Amino acid sequence: MEKFDVIVIGAGVVGAMIARELSRFELSVAVIEKESDVCMGTTSANTAIVHAGYDPVPGTLKAELNVRGNKLWDQVAFELGIPFKRTGDYVIGIGPEEVKGVEKIYERGKQNGVIGIEMLGRDEVLSRLPYLNKDVSVAMFAYTGGITDPFQATFAPMENAVMNGVKLYLNTAFEDFIFDGKKIIGIKTNKGEFLSNWVINAAGLYSDFVMHKANLHPEFKITPRKGEYYVFDRNEFTIPDVLFPTPTELTKGIMVTTTIHGNTIIGPNAHDVEDKEDKANTPEGLDEVFKGASKLVPQISLRHVIAIFAGLRPTGNARTPNPAIDYHHDYLIEARPDMGILNLAGIESPGLASSPAIAERVVELLKDSGLELKEKKDFNPIRKPRRRFRDMTNEERANLVKMNPLYGRIICRCEYVTEGEIIDEIHAPVPALTYDAIKRRTWLGTGRCQGAFDTPRVVEILSRELGVSPLEVTKKGDNSYFLLRKTKEVEDER
Amino acid sequence: METRKFTCLGCPVGCSLTVYIENGEVVKVEGNQCNIGIDFAKQEVKDPRRKVTTTVKIRNGVHPLLPVYTDKPFPKGMIMELVKELRKIEVEAPVKMGDMILENALGTGVNIIASRTIKRKE
Amino acid sequence: MKDRYDVVVIGSGPGGLAAAISAKKEGAESVLIIERDKEPGGILNQCIHNGFGVEIFKEDLPGPSYAERFVNEAESLGIEFMLDSMVLEVTPQKKIYATSKWYGFKEIEATAIVFAMGARERTRAQIRIPGFRPAGVYTAGSAQRFVNIEGFMPGKRFVILGSGDIGMIMARRLTLEGAKVERVLEIMPFLTGLTRNYVQCLQDFNIPLQLSHTVNRILGKNRVEAIESVQVDENFNPIKGTEEIIPADTLLLSVGLIPENELSRKVGVKMDSLIQGPFVDEEMQTSIPGIFAAGNVVHIFDLVDWVTEAGFTAGKGAARFVKETKEKSEFVKLVPGNNIHHIVPQYLKKDALQNGPAKLMMRVIKPMEEKVWVELSDGKNLITRKLERYVRPGEMVILTVPQKAYDDVKKAKELIVSIEKFGG
């Protein structure tokens, strides 16, 4: 049985950032993830915004970690090769009734210590954003808001962690704790038992399940809150900016925003569901998203939609630690040194923005709890970004292809992803073993044809590189097989 | 007198035919725009046939399957039996377009022909 | 493979093959077809059913046979193929950037280009079907490729959305390969494909077709488990209460083709937003002279034979353009011949001698201390020459081209200056 100093449950952006921080120290660390790949939970479906920090209620953990995390993004993105752009973002007020709402956000931003926010009058807003609803009354612009790629934001730290000695166990689902009296000494999974001194619960939508198994916080509950999105063909329709509506108590609202890949997306709405795996799109949800987005940009048409998707926020009911603040949906970040467990629960938006600060906070808490943190002499903080054929100049492409002809074979015609890049991901330290895993890493299959051209070729490459029959290749692990039998092998004829 | 209605498959137009049958013989055809309709109606009543296209396995070729076709229309009622038989066949590459793959399939006098050339795998 | 071609055709489906063949026959000397698949033929290779060639050959051929005839003709005419290669960009100056495992990253210049990229299929997202996004949702064409070429069945129990010809043909194909097609759903109140296909693909196999029906939801998180169908009203809105769960493991989408015009848009040809294809004239020439388009890339055709005809027209136009470009070319290039290092001017206008003689200034490479001819020819015939007592690299050599050489210069493809020994 394997024994570790620390086991992290969950390989979303939070688990990955934590693992990377822990890999700086002389510790044996393992990350377990129930899915076939990292980044398949909440991190896989969101608006990909690195929030400035004006939105969370002042005095909450959300506010503190958002503002701190936002500051850390430049360094983290640089060290780990994560695509990141400080675009700045707008909060738009439509009509006189929304002016107060935007002003309230501005005040909040100031209270939270966000730098570089300013209020803009109608004329200024329309001169910057001519496509906006002409009934715009006021807007707030925040210089520090940014956009990133949530998949790279998870792969990069995870890969860096693995490069620095962390072990990653995919398809490994937490089932229960192993106790010695009150102390947790290990975990039971569907793949066997692991012993450890510390367990870090970064299980996202299932963080309540994990906590309850340790008999902690029975009152805490995760309510999956679904948000649906539309994605547009970037050759047909683009809004180059990041636009928020005036927020409500429930949600930041339905956005119209550009993404790091250049596509424009609209969404998310907010709708509680029962099932933690219910990421189905609904006609009502999609309708709500369209209506919300049209309020900001009236000429939005669904003609150039190329994809729809839905994500689930792990909304929790934890009270803010500061007793003076009456807020009941804050992050729960708590170390129990007596038990050897550190829980992170309810990490919904601004989780992506906060993730570097959350990882920093976890290390502090472990230190305060008495865990010895001796820095590794040979820790390498740098993880080089992948070469992307489609981002290269023709000269760079020519050189790349000359060096390795496999980079000359285009597999995804819409997004210019080459066979060389796909093979790189299949054999990477955090390997891509399914079609969706390759898609998340390379953006293959996300263009106009949505995989119609590349799918047979990717199935062939996965089959060849993994040494399995094409019948065993899956879309996203489990039983998501692409092909069910050979053309000439009919069951009752065998 | 029996009346049957069906679509003529003789050409892409697809006329709607009304066919009058007496003692098993077609006596009148209405709705056709040419004589192909009359011939089709007679054949369809007596012995309905269809052109069949499918694939057979091919060994050591650049593709694992060879597309094939029937050189004449094939009895409609025996089509599923035909494709079942063809599933058992495996030919060896190279194969040229027009090569005979199966002569006199199921004793019908219809031959199965290769639709394309498949070269041998290198 | 060369760096320059008279005509480059992008796509080796029926449109591209016909364009290349006709361009060659109409006088284009060098013709190249760039094809992204490993073999030529385009979509015809997976269309193993018949119905092709009824007009052009007066025969009823399966798709691969139709393609092979044209591929054979193209090869016998000396048309070059660049296979397994993707065109990334075409510039308005008709430079083509293509990449391939075999040829590397290539820059190819063309005098005329024919776009024959065909069409892609409308996807699930474009018609916005709610539900999960499991494995087992395919466009009919993708499924066709797996079944007919790769040799795998994407499923065992199918629901097909769309009564277009591709959907119906796949219904029959799948049934012949032992699968069960549970239902074909069509949102319109009428059949969108040919009636004969309804008969020989659906009716013959007792596959039920429901008009005014569509897919309401896809069920199944990892793999399709069922399709929920629903009836629609005259405004295509779902009618509550008519939902039906159809157990299935695969959904095939046959909901329309869209011309594939990424390259056309990037190069800036004028696009007709109504049909999502370029504006073309009777020669199939786009708004950029010398760029032509043929086949589904312009608009969706019904019969492949008409695509071939359009390809013939575009190829003929491309050849015409090449010929005119060569003739109308305003300039003729001056090429250094024997012992000539360089010539200034490097170009003469074709009618340069209309206004007076032209003075050519040269430097030689090696000294020759003997009598030499400085000769101007068009590659075949001597146009004019001058005797020099010697030539040295340090001294400029001048040759005047007299006005009487006007005709020779005008029709020359290139002009060569060389040093020849006197009497030898």
- DSSP string covering C127-154, please? HT--B---BTEEEHHHHHHIIIII-EES
Count of CB atoms situated within 10 Å of the CB of A292: 18
Nearest CB to A452; choose among C107, C121, C150: C121
Question: Are residues B41 and B77 part of one domain?
Answer: no
At position A425, the amino acid (one-letter code) is E
**Is residue A228 predicted with pLDDT exceeding 70?**
yes
For testing contact with chain A, the best of B80, B87, B88 (most A CBs within 10 A): B87
Q: How far is CA C260 from CA A228, A294, A376, C281, in A?
A: 28, 29, 54, 19
Number of structural domains found in chain A: 3
Alpha-carbon distance C98 to C90, whole Å? 9
Helix, strand, coil tally for chain A in percent (to 5): 35, 25, 40
Do B107 and B64 share a domain, yes or no? yes
C378 burial class (0-12, 13-18, 19+ CB within 10 angstroms)?
Answer: middle
Is residue A413 domain-shared with residue A348, that is, in the same domain?
Answer: no
Looking at the structure, do residues C169 and C227 belong to the same domain, yes or no?
yes
- Residues B30 and B62 reside in one and the same domain: no
Each residue of C305-328: b (16+ CB within 10 Å) or e?
A: bebbbbbbbbbbbbbbbbbeeeee
Same domain for A338 and A239: no
Are C14 and C113 found together in one domain? yes
Identity of the residue in C89, C142, C153 whose CB atom sits nearest the CB atom of A485: C153
Residues A29 and A137 both lie in one domain: no
As a whole number, mean pLDDT of residues C301-328 equals 92
Catalytic residue (one of A51, A217, A261, A427) = A51
State residue A268's pLDDT score.
96
pLDDT in tens, C253-265: 999 899 999 999 9
CA–CA separation, C283 vs B8, rounded Å? 36
Those chains having 3 or more beta-carbon pairs within 8 angstroms of chain A are B, C
CA distance A435 to A473: 8
Residues A435, A454: one domain? Answer: yes
Spatial distance between the Cα atoms of A298 and A337, rounded to a whole number of angstroms? 54
The reported pLDDT for the residue numbered C89 is 95
In a domain, residue B94? The reply is yes
**Same domain, yes or no: B37 and B73:** no
- Alpha-carbon gap: A76 to the closest alpha carbon of chain C (Å): 32
**Do residues B59 and B13 both lie within one domain?**
no
Stretch C131-137: mean pLDDT:
91
Provide the 3-class DSSP secondary structure of residue C36. Answer: coil
Cross-chain CB nearest to C153 (options A309, A451, A484): A484
In chain A, % of residues over pLDDT 90? 92
Same domain, A454 and A396: yes
Backbone angles phi, psi at C158, to 5 degrees: -115, 145
Residue B110 in domain:
yes
C-beta atoms of C125 and A235 within 8 A = no
* Same domain membership, residue B92 and residue B109: yes
User: Is residue A50's pLDDT more than 90?
Assistant: yes
State whether A323 and A360 are in the same domain. yes
pLDDT surpassing 60 at residue C328: yes
Q: Is residue A483 part of a domain?
A: no
Residues from chain B that touch C151, judged by Cβ atoms under 8 A, are 57, 63-65
Q: How confident is the model at residue B13 (pLDDT cuts 50, 70, 90)?
A: confident
Kindly state whether residue A155 falls inside one of the protein's structural domains: yes
d(CA C155, CA C144): 12
Residues C209 and C153 in one domain: yes
Residue B119 in any domain: the answer is no
What confidence score (pLDDT) does residue C191 get?
A: 94
**% residues pLDDT > 70 (chain A):** 99
Residues A137, A124: Cα–Cα separation, whole Å:
11
B12 and B42 inside one domain: yes
Name the helix (H) or strand (E) containing A67: helix A61-80
What are the pLDDT digits (tens) for A76-117?
Answer: 999 999 999 999 999 999 999 999 999 999 999 999 999 999
Q: To the nearest 10°, report the CA torsion of A477, A42, C220, C139.
A: -80
What pLDDT is recorded for position C81? 98
Rounded mean pLDDT, C77-96: 96
Kindly state whether residue B120 falls inside one of the protein's structural domains: no
Residues A214 and A362 in one domain: yes
Domain that includes residue C349, residue range: 331-421
Indicate if A304 and A242 belong to the same structural domain. Answer: yes
Same domain membership, residue A230 and residue A171? no
Average pLDDT over residues B76-83: 96
Total domains in the fold of chain B:
2
Residue C181 sits in a domain whose CATH number is: 3.50.50.60
User: Average pLDDT, stretch C212-219?
Assistant: 94
Which residues span the domain enclosing A299? 87-146+226-309
Q: How far is C370 from chain A (nearest CA, A)?
A: 48
Any domain includes A93: yes
- Indicate whether A206 belongs to any domain: yes
The percent of residues in chain C predicted with pLDDT above 70, rounded, is: 99
If pLDDT is split at 50, 70 and 90, which confidence band does C349 have? confident
Give domain status of residue A443, yes or no.
yes
C230-238: average pLDDT: 95
Position C330 confidence tier, pLDDT thresholds 50, 70, 90: confident
Same domain, C299 and C182: no
Q: Answer yes or no: do A167 and A288 share one domain.
A: no
CB proximity under 8 Å: B 38-77 to A: 55, 57, 65
Note whether residue A141 is domain-resident: yes
Is residue C297 located within the same domain as residue C384?
no
A232 assigned to some structural domain: yes
* Mean pLDDT rounded to a whole number for chain C: 94
**What percent of chain B has a predicted confidence (pLDDT) above 70?**
100
Residue A150's SS3 state is helix
Task: Give the least confident one: A117-126, A206-215, C192-201, C323-332.
Answer: C323-332
pLDDT of residue A494: 52
**Predicted confidence (pLDDT) at residue A493 exceeds the cutoff of 70:** no
In a domain, A138, yes or no: yes
Q: Which of A132-141, A233-242, A362-371, A427-436 has the lowest mean pLDDT?
A: A233-242
Answer yes or no: do B57 and B110 share one domain.
yes
A271 is annotated as an active-site residue = no
Within 10 A of C13 (CB to CB), how many other CB atoms are there?
29
Q: What are the pLDDT digits (tens) for A251-308?
A: 789 999 999 999 999 999 999 999 999 999 999 999 999 999 999 999 999 988 989 9
Q: What is the CATH number of the domain that holds C395?
A: 2.60.40
Q: A450, C125: Cβ pair inside 8 Å?
A: yes
Q: Is the pLDDT score of C125 beyond 90?
A: no
Give the integer Cα–Cα distance in Å for A448 and C183. 27
Distance between CA C103 and CA C83 in Å, rounded?
Answer: 9
Res. C217: pLDDT tops 60: yes
Domain boundary among C271, C306, C328: C328
CA A329/CA C335 separation, integer angstroms: 80
Name the burial class of residue A322, with classes exposed (0-12), middle (13-18) and buried (19+) by CB atoms within 10 angstroms of its CB. middle
Q: Is B80 on the interface with A (CB under 8 A)?
A: no
pLDDT of residue C411: 87
CB of B43 closer than 8 Å to CB of B10: no
Q: Do B55 and A493 touch (CB under 8 A)?
A: no
Regarding whether C294 and C359 lie in a shared domain, the answer is: no
Strand A332-336 to A341-345 pairing = antiparallel
pTM across the whole model: 0.86
Cβ-Cβ contacts under 8 Å for B69 (sequence gap 6 or more): B51, B52, B53, B112, B113, B115, C48, C50, C62, C65
* A317 SS3 class: coil
- Mean pLDDT to the nearest integer, A445-450: 84
Mean pLDDT calculated for residue range C316-339: 89
Picking from C307, C328, C349, the residue at the C-terminal end of a domain is C328
Distance CA B95, CA A31 (A): 54
Q: Do C154 and A482 touch (CB under 8 A)?
A: yes
pLDDT tens digits along A181-226: 999 999 999 999 999 999 999 999 999 999 999 999 999 999 999 9
The pLDDT tens digits of the residues spanning A467-476 come to 999 999 999 9
Domain with B63, as residue range(s), is: 53-114
Per the structure, the count of domains in chain C is 3
Are both B60 and B39 inside the same structural domain? no
- Percentage of chain C modeled with pLDDT above 90: 85
Task: Identify whether residues A302 and A325 lie together within a single domain.
Answer: no
CATH of the domain at B83: 3.10.530.10
- A127 to chain B, any CB pair closer than 8 A? The answer is no
pLDDT in the model for residue C424? 59
Give me the amino acid identity at C124. R
Nearest CA in chain A to C140: A452
Which residues in chain A touch residue B55, judged by CB atoms under 8 angstroms apart? 487-488
A-chain residue closest to B83, CA distance: A488
A231 in the same domain as A209: no
CATH number for A415: 1.10.10.1100
Residue numbers in A near B84 (CB within 8 A): 490, 493
| CA distance linking residue A320 with residue A62, whole number of Å | 9
